A = this chain, B = another copy of it.
């Protein structure tokens, strides 16, 4: 069995997670077979179970991989010293870029995580809440220092930003030719005009 410390093992396991991410993103959790994942790695179906105890575990790993770093990045943004608008731009940029960089894992987190059993979902839930709360905090801070209109509901606003980014993220994953920076720029434009005061 695996010695979790092995360098080769963890590299290959990372590859397994990425392969699973790609396949789950394309076919969905239930639509994807363990055979599809294995094939993408160039190994046989049964061999996949050297890396995962079950298909569900694979999904769990993909979701975690998909959201983890990106939540950490949000913490950095939220705790920073920048003004509201810069934080919003940074958030949208980070969120949308991660759809490209980390490939399909974030999409899988969004679309398939509900198929995980509750126990496996709790850690993901924490991370998701963490993200949303920090984003909410950015809006609250913005309201406090006058950048954001008083009528804005911060909880709604955070949800709206996340929802919009995910919707565009879907298109970004599906269409590799879509201009990422164009999308980032237009999204932030919309949000800034939508939430901040006019000079």
How long is the Cα–Cα vector from A170 to B162 in the complex, in angstroms? 13
Query: How many identical chains are in the complex?
Result: 2
The answer to whether A198 and B195 touch (CB under 8 A), given A29-B31, A164-B164, is: no
Interfacial chain B residues near A29, Cβ < 8 Å: 28, 30-31
Interfacial chain B residues near A168, Cβ < 8 Å: 159-160, 163
How long is the Cα–Cα vector from A191 to B153 in the complex, in angstroms? 14
Q: Does A193 contact B (CB under 8 A)?
A: yes
Q: Does A111 contact B (CB under 8 A)?
A: yes
Name the CB-closest residue of B to A170. Answer: B163
Number of interface residues of A (CB under 8 A): 32
Interfacial chain B residues near A198, Cβ < 8 Å: 198
Q: Out of B151, B160, B186, B193, which one reaches A156, CB within 8 Å?
A: B186
Q: Out of B111, B159, B191, which one reaches A194, CB within 8 Å?
A: B191
How long is the Cα–Cα vector from A73 to B194 in the complex, in angstroms? 26
Name the CB-closest residue of B to A151. Answer: B189
Q: Does A4 contact B (CB under 8 A)?
A: no
Interfacial chain B residues near A115, Cβ < 8 Å: 28, 31
Q: Does A190 contact B (CB under 8 A)?
A: yes
Q: Does A187 contact B (CB under 8 A)?
A: yes
A30-46: CB near B (< 8 Å → 1, else 0) gives 11000000000000000
Interfacial chain B residues near A194, Cβ < 8 Å: 189-191, 193-194
How long is the Cα–Cα vector from A186 to B166 in the complex, in angstroms? 19
Q: Out of B28, B30, B160, B170, which one reaches A164, CB within 8 Å?
A: B160
Binding site for B on A (CB under 8 A): 27-31, 111, 115, 149, 151, 153, 156-157, 159-160, 162-164, 166-168, 170-171, 183, 186-187, 189-191, 193-195, 198
